[in-house]
Chains A and B, each alone.
Chain A
Amino acid sequence: MDEDWKLKAQAWLDGELPAQEAQRVQDRVGKDAEAQALLKELEGANTFLDAFERELRVPESREFYWSRIQRAIHAGEPVAPATTLWLTRWWKLVLPVAATTALVLVFALSRSGPGHPSRPAAQSTLAAQAQPAQCTIADPAALTYEDYNAGATLVWFSYPPEKELAANR
């Protein structure tokens, strides 16, 4: 057997030859006792390997082996489950809209509150009406709205802050 033929016989054994060539090799192997012995030897190596791998076991208990994996998982970046990620994105979209709506609502309520001139019962003075409403942003994650006429203070917290959300992504 020449060297190329040996490698070709191996390729046939491994199913790596195109159909037409595989048929030619198969025919030749059928007539060649030496090639048959060679292929048997090559297959034998596979059998040994299968037997070898089946016998190998992790030399640690289930708990001990897992504990190291578990520690590494917890120490590393957590794998965000798909549902959590979806909720985070959803919340990020809704948050600004909700904040704006809340501010508009507070403003509208303050205009129809007891200090407003449109209400007959409310005998508020011009001076009282002149007291300013204040909107402060002391913390990037918190918005404070104060309406002195209505005597109302609204603090809107947005946690986790946008920056953190962006950083965690």
Chain B
Amino acid sequence: MNGNAYSSKDDRELVRAAQKGDTMAFEELVARHRDKVYARAYGMMRNEDAALDLSQEAWVKGWQRLRQFQGESSFSTWITRIVINLCLDQLRKQKRQRTDSLEALSEESGGVERQMPVVVVNPSAGLEREELRQRIDRALDQLSYEHRTALILHEFQDMEYKEIAKVMGCSIGTVMSRLFYARRRMAALLANLKNEDLR
């Protein structure tokens, strides 16, 4: 089968072929979903090298566990779950080696974000796509691991509160609080950046 034959197949056909040991079919799956898997890893790790390493490791694990994939979810969801779990493991290891962030302390001490004034944001207003990406990137950088992870698991993985709580090893109440903080902080950070640019 040549490359064109693979590119015309849908994910399910490629998965079936890959489950029989066809690495070319798997390569096509990698090509299709690599940006998403990398973006998810980058969103969590905030580091290009780590995101590359973990995203590639996720693909290797995906290959090794491919026969376990029964199609309950889309292949894209399945492989991004793998990369998220790898990122969480990595972040837990890193967390053990450092003290809690100021944001986490703030959250535990009562949550100043709840007193923040509401900020109205308009994602498309006057921003070029690359510029927007860079600004969001910087804003995400300012979130702690806990807040960023809660946000990413909820927004990108469509996880429910209880699932996030299980993955992160905390209560549902803490998930709600982290999510609330993360969203409001993102809105505030992005609104500030926009105002700076307008000056």
List the interface of chain A (C-beta within 8 A of B): 3, 6-7, 10-11, 14, 16, 34, 37-38, 40-42, 44-53, 55-60, 62, 65-66, 68-70, 72-73, 76-77, 79-84
Contacts and interface: CB of A to CB of B under 8 A. Distances in A.
Contacts of B38: 56-58
B161 A16 contact: yes
Given A3-B111, A41-B120, A53 B180 contact: no
Nearest to B190: A48
18 contacts: A3-B111, A11-B176, A16-B160, A45-B184, A45-B187, A48-B139, A50-B155, A52-B133, A52-B137, A55-B129, A55-B133, A58-B38, A60-B52, A65-B30, A65-B56, A66-B27, A68-B56, A69-B56
Contact of B176 (A7, A53, A58, A84): A7
B36 to A, nearest CB: 7
B182 interface: yes
B179 A49 contact: no
A79 B56 CA distance: 17
Main secondary structure of the interface of A (DSSP, over half): helix
Contacts of B35: 56-58
B119 interface: yes
A88 to B, nearest CB: 13
B184 A41 contact: yes
B30 A51 contact: no
B88 interface: no
B54 interface: no
Contacts of A48: 121, 123, 132, 136, 139, 186, 190
A66 B136 contact: no
Contacts of A38: 118
